[in-house]
Structure 1
Amino acid sequence: MNYILFDGPSRNNLLPFTFTRPVADIRVGILTIREKWETYLATTTTTVTEDYLSEKYPMVEMEENIMINASCLPNIELVELITNLKENQAIFKDEELLAFFAKEAQEDINFDDFDIIDCPHDILKIEHTWDIFSKNGEAIKDDFSLLSKDRTSQAIPASNNVVAPENIFIEKGAKLEFTTLNASNGPIYIGKNAEIMEGTMVRGPLALCEKGVIKLGSKIYGPTTIGPHSKIGGEVSNTVIFGYSSKGHDGYLGDSVLGEWCNLGADTNNSNLKNNYAEVRLWDYQTQGFAKTGLQFCGLIMGDHSKCGINTMFNTGTVVGVSANIFGSGFPRNFIPSFSWGGSAGFSTYLTKKAFEVAPLVMERRNVKFTEQDKAILEHVFEETKSFRRN
């Protein structure tokens, strides 16, 4: 069977991360959503997404296809329902479409003609940006069970101080000495060729993905995910970092999500709690206003390729778009549009010409090429987000 992940109605609620990727390629837990589905299904998947993303993330359609809502994270029960789907069958839960069987070139689908299967199982869904960190603990535990099943961890070096070693899994090539690892509150996963430097204290759940680095003397509170090739220092709590991003120095980052190719300057800090303890509101791209999150703790949401200088201070519930550059003293406003350049004193437009000089240099340091597809995506985002910039 051919499986295709579609963005679904949550796509716009997951901006700015879905400016540059399909919903399926959001990381939550240890794996991206796509990687979770491909592990469960034991096959590759493709994507239905925005037209401007389709060259980099194409759809492959066959004679028979099962379409899956990418906002839904897989579990054994849901995967069983989906793999047993037949023609003209669809799975719904609480009136939301989870998956359906589609024939090739079946453009007009009327679900009134389908046999509707109600999903009776609990489903973990990523429908808002803040779901990425607020549901990350459960996602780490699910992925840990998936990846460690019937496998044996590498031995934990004797120099480490360890609580609940049975909840720790170390992949080949990982390095860690003279650290404190407490997995009593949730599992700790240390990916292939990752490193935790001396003096670091970790309380799980933690996902440190392939070639990720936690620097000397860091303090990491779970649930936290540090994506592939990311370098992290200082104090981090309840945060998801997609990959290829750096917070290499002291400073606090909590209840936050960073995309790829982000960099936080030394002593950058974010607030995750308002002084009056009120509910946090976050910028909503659809309504172009601030939406209720239902959360008391919510920090920084930062899209791909965005960066900030040393000593940057972010207000509670700050949303930063794609390829923004923030610097200077004081608190910048809590919505910073894509391709903005500046800080609390004001912003100008960060022109794509300048951004395209920086991006290849940043990516080359991780041996990744800045492609024409990447350039075209960022050019589209620049044009799409013009209305949010004041200049």
Structure 2
Amino acid sequence: MTINLFDDGAWNSLRPLTFTRPVADLRLGILTIAEKWSKYLNADAGFKTQAYLSTKYPLNQEAELYINGSICPDVQLVEAILGLKTGDVLMKDGITIAGKFEPAGDIALFHPAGAPIAYEADFIKINYPEDIFKFNDVELRKDFQLLTTGRTSASLSATNTLIGDQIFVEQGASAECSTFNSKNGPIYLGRNAQVWEGSNIRGSFALCHDSQVKMGAKIYGQTTIGPFSRVGGEINNAVIWGYSSKGHEGYLGNSVLGQWCNIGADSNNSNLKNNYAEVRLWDYQKESFRRTGLQFCGLIMADHAKCAINTMFNTGTVAGVSANIFGAGFPRNFIPDFSWGGSHGYEVYTLKKMFETATKVFERRNLPFDATEKEILQQVFELTAVNRNFK
């Protein structure tokens, strides 16, 4: 089976995380949304997304099923989608969930011949960046069942303390002298993942393949560390997409980090206002701050963003793509894409300088920083120029 995962209006409201990817390439739980659908349907997934992203995330021309990339699958929803006939569109409350087309059909031009098929059950749909950490626990538990049912876990060293029986270890994963408590949620250690000595981890928690937890880390539930990442210090209810580092002491909570991010030593984010008030986040559509309805909300950091040592992030901070943050004091709650500076002020982080850094970062992972990556970042730089009126 082949499918296409399409972006709806959530692509706009999930910025800056989606400036560099389709919605379905976002991670929550253990897997990205695209990986979830591929596993549930045993399907190869393509993407119907923004034109400048389509080289890296191409459309599958042979796909018959188009599925909303902001919606997470579950057994009941998958059954409903598999029951669609050509021309059917599954909907709920005005949201297009999925449609079945002739191959090479275009959802933007499609109009069903009859009434849309109503879907009655609930499902998880992400519309805003904070939805990723908000729904991470539910999705982590679902992904844990999806990935581990019918399989046998590898074992961990006897130097560890294991509490509860919801721990699954992939081949090549290792840990020493650490505590894993799965009584409140499952713990998943991916292929070749490492947990270094003295770490204390509570479920629900996922450490994806080829990532490390450094010595003495304290990690609380509802947390996902994506692949090829390294973390330390204290982390709670946070999602890191992958290829990112928070390797030192400092607190990260109720937060989302994209790819190629780096958090300097002893950096912290606040996730609760001093007056316990509702947290607001910068909204790229409104070009103003939006009420989240949340009391706990920390840092949203887009791809390639980095901060220096001892950076202090206020509650509800959004750092855009390739923001580079340093200096004393609290930077403002919205740090525009391609910014260079901190509370003392900002200047433009030029593409030339950014490309020089990104080339070195990719080389450390033995990956090419190629023309496709540069073109995407060039487009983001141009799209976000309106926010960089620095004086």
Alignment TM-score, normalising by the size of structure 1: 0.98
Backbone CA RMSD of aligned residues:
1.0
CA distance in 2, matches of 1:105, 1:133: 34
- 5+ long unaligned stretches in structure 1: none
Distance 1:258 1:234 in 2: 15
- Counterparts of residues 322-341 of structure 1 (less than 5 Å): 322-341=321-340
Report the Cα distance in structure 2 between the residues aligned to 1:86 and 1:168, rounded to whole angstroms.
40
The reply to whether residue 268 of structure 1 matches residue 271 of structure 2 is: no
Shift of 1:127: 1.2
Mapped partners of 2:257, 2:44: distance in 1: 26
* Matching of residue 70 in structure 1 with residue 69 in structure 2: yes
Identical counterparts, % of pairs: 54
Shift of 1:160: 0.8
Q: Could you say which residue in structure 1 is the equivalent of 2:302?
A: 303
3-state SS of 2:236 partner: strand
Deviation readout 1:232-269 (Å, 9 max, x if unpaired)? 00000000000000011000000000000000000000
Corresponding residue for residue 116 of structure 1: 116
Q: What SS class does the counterpart of residue 29 from structure 1 fall into?
A: coil
Deviations, residues 5-26 of structure 1 (Å, cap 9, x unaligned): 0011211111111100000100
- Quick check: 1:88–1:115 contact (8 Å CA) kept in 2? no
The one-letter amino acid paired with 1:39 is K
Q: How far does residue 115 in structure 1 lie from its aligned partner after superposition? A: 3.9
Number of matched pairs: 388
Structure 2 Cα separation of the partners of residues 326 and 118 of structure 1: 47
Shift of 1:2: 2.9
Please name the residue that 1:45 is paired with.
45
**What's the secondary structure of 1:11's corresponding residue?**
helix
Cα distance, 1:335 vs. partner? 0.2
Which secondary structure state, in structure 2, belongs to the residue aligned with residue 241 of structure 1?
A: strand
> Displacement of 1:105 after TM fit?
4.1
Distance 2:240 2:2 in 1: 30
Question: Retained in 1: the 8 A contact 2:156–2:174?
Answer: no
Q: Deviations over 1:326-361 (max 9, x none)?
A: 000000000001000000000000000000000011
Letter in 2 for 1:128: Y
Distance 2:2 2:44 in 1: 8
CA distance in 1: counterparts of 2:298 and 2:388, whole angstroms: 22
* C-alpha separation in 1, matches of 2:114 and 2:350: 49
Q: Scaled by the length of structure 2, what TM-score is found?
A: 0.98
- 1:1-391 matches, cutoff 5 A: 1-62=1-62, 65-103=64-102, 104-106=104-106, 108-111=109-112, 113-164=113-164, 166-391=165-390
CA distance in 2: counterparts of 1:54 and 1:77, whole angstroms: 30
Distance in 2 of aligned mates of 1:260 and 1:369: 15
Deviation at 1:110, TM superposition (A): 2.4
AA at the equivalent of 2:141: K
Between 1:360-369 and 1:296-305, the stretch displaced more is 360-369
Cα shift readout 1:90-124 (whole Å, capped 9, x = no counterpart): 1111221100112234552224x334222122211
Encode CA deviations 1:124-147: one digit per residue, 9 max, x unaligned: 111110000010000000000000
Q: How far does the alpha carbon of each residue in 1:2-52 deviate from its partner, in whole angstroms, 9 at most, with x for none?
A: 311001121111111110000010000000000000001112110000000
Q: Secondary structure at the match of 2:37?
A: helix
Letter of the aligned partner of 2:56 in structure 1? K
